[in-house]
Amino acid sequence: MEIRKWKRWLSYLMEVHLESSSSEHNDSLHVTLNKGRLQLSTPNAIYSYADKYENFYKAFEQIHLNESIEDVLILGFGLGSIPYMLEEKFGKNYSYTGVELDEEVIYLASKYVLSDLKSDVMLIEADAINFMHQCTQAFDLICIDIFVDDQIPEVFLTEDFLHLIKESLAANGLVVFNHLADRKAYEDKARRYHKDVFTKVFPKGQYLQILGNGMMVSY
């Protein structure tokens, strides 16, 4: 969707509201322009923010995106910040499979973002746990960004879920799992999860504290 230039210019001075909606899975969704970038948010969390979605941006800066990466799985697609930043800022041309539970988020992504991406994107409306149980494809990079507001549903915090992820990971593939850590209680929870759960499945997994997020990376 083409957004008028004056709105983009104004967004560098103040946040510009574009659209609000709700769904069965999110009581309140807001699309805004902020510093020229599209942002999707709920009252307590930012779901997408183009290349300013710094938890993933800074994680990608720190990890090695090897040349063998071709197929990328994104669980929790939002407005497509991950393909946007990898395409526009890292110069990567990947093939993406995006899994998103909320059909309203899919509608907003289709309305505002997908037509502007050069990369091949297949967007699937599905519960990520059901998708993983049925998944037969191997991916070189799996990004997990699954939230309902500011909470990760418990089913995605189990070892069983991580084993499903591992089974769909290509040789030498990477997993990047986003956890909220913007306050001490959340950071403590994220670090415990990394130590007690994540490293049981990915023994070389690292924890990166990036601003208000704990990013877990498999190696």
- For the chain, the structural domain boundaries read 53-217
H or E segment to which residue 167 belongs = helix 159-167
The pLDDT of residue 72 is 98
Per-residue pLDDT of the chain (219 residues; tens, 9 = 90+): 778 888 889 999 999 999 999 998 888 999 999 999 999 998 888 888 888 899 999 999 999 888 889 999 999 999 999 999 999 999 999 999 999 999 999 999 999 999 889 999 999 999 999 999 999 999 999 999 999 888 999 999 999 999 999 999 999 899 999 999 989 999 999 999 999 999 999 999 999 999 999 999 998
Q: Nearest Cα to 197, choosing from 216, 212, 178?
A: 216
Q: What is the pTM of this model?
A: 0.93
List of residues 6+ apart from 138 with CB closer than 8 A: 71, 168, 169, 170, 173
Q: What is the second-level CATH architecture of the domain 53-217?
A: 3-Layer(aba) Sandwich (3.40)
The pLDDT of residue 45 is 82
Task: Tell me if 182 sits within 8 A of 212, measured CB to CB.
Answer: yes
Query: 101: which DSSP letter?
Result: S
> CB atoms < 10 A from the CB of 18, how many?
18
Token pair recorded at residue 61? 């800066």
The pLDDT of residue 5 is 86
The pLDDT of residue 67 is 82
The pLDDT of residue 123 is 95
d(CA 118, CA 147): 26
Q: Name the phi and psi angles at 203, rounded to 5.
A: -55, -25
Task: Tell me if 174 sits within 8 A of 219, measured CB to CB.
Answer: yes
The pLDDT of residue 44 is 82
The pLDDT of residue 184 is 94
